[in-house]
Amino acid sequence: MILNDRQRRTFAMALAAMAGFVDSVGFLSAQAYFVSFMSGNTTRLGVAIGTAPQDAIVPALLIGGFIAGVTGGALVSERAGSMRKPAVLALVTALLVIGALARAAGIGTLMMAALVLAMGALNNTFQRDGEVTVGLTYMTGALVKLGIGLARRVTGKGDGRWASWAQLWLGLLGGAVLGAFLQDRLPMGCLWIASVWSAAMVVVAFRVPSES
């Protein structure tokens, strides 16, 4: 789907960049915990259980919150039908606004809860037959597909689709760099920027065809 459609590919890159931006802001705001990268939080959970069980509560709650966000986003997606993309992104936008308000009020726990819910929900943007077709907040799968695509290219069996996975990863990386840069210089404005970014994606989503 995304590999053969420039419109969807560009849209996915913009959303991956937004996820990288938010994850970077969350990471720098909360003692190096992630709001979108649950593999990292799972490793932190395992390390905590093995060395300091009292520290396991934070990564466990973040993982649970992410799952709750995915579940909530999936329910919205199911009800929205062909309007899945704007509906899911409207939910993400609302959660990011809550996160920005919580940060302004100095309520760090609510901020992190809103961000992790938003990032979980975001992964429902691209679906086909109830299955996520493009993960927007995690890139391990994309990098695996990139590596396989490069191998096929070297052996003359592949096409240029591997480049799309590289672009998706670069989108996440670029967003993370921007998030870190602005978090260092404009900490109280970062989540408002993310909220506006997400709201703009809602508008764009009306022009992106559904996958099913």
For 170-206, how does the pLDDT look when each residue is reduced to its tens digit (9 = 90+)? 999 999 999 999 999 999 999 999 999 999 999 999 9
Q: 212 lies in a domain?
A: no
Q: 133 lies in a domain?
A: yes
Q: How many domains does the chain have?
A: 1
Q: How confident is the model at residue 158 (pLDDT cuts 50, 70, 90)?
A: low
Identify whether the C-beta of residue 139 lies closer than 8 Å to the C-beta of residue 123.
Answer: no
pLDDT tens digit string along 65-108? Answer: 999 999 999 999 999 988 999 999 999 999 999 999 999 999 99
At 24 the pLDDT is 96
Query: Is pLDDT above 90 for 53?
Result: yes
Q: 22 lies in a domain?
A: yes
Query: Count of CB atoms within 10 A of residue 211's CB?
Result: 19
Identify whether the C-beta of residue 173 lies closer than 8 Å to the C-beta of residue 53.
Answer: no
Which residue pairs, CB below 8 angstroms and at least 24 apart, start in 123-126? 123/70, 123/73, 124/70, 124/73, 124/74, 124/76, 124/77, 124/84, 124/88, 125/12, 125/15, 125/84, 125/85, 125/88, 125/89, 125/205, 126/1, 126/2, 126/8, 126/12, 126/211
- Interhelix angle 108-122/84-104, rounded to 10 degrees, is 170
Query: Count of CB atoms within 10 A of residue 151's CB?
Result: 12
Q: 159 lies in a domain?
A: yes
Which two three-digit tokens encode residue 165?
């996975």
Q: 209 lies in a domain?
A: no
Q: 210 lies in a domain?
A: no
Q: 17 lies in a domain?
A: yes
The helix/strand/coil state of 132 is strand
**Which residue range forms the structural domain that includes residue 103?**
2-202
Q: 173 lies in a domain?
A: yes
Global pTM value? 0.90
Average pLDDT of span 138-152: 78
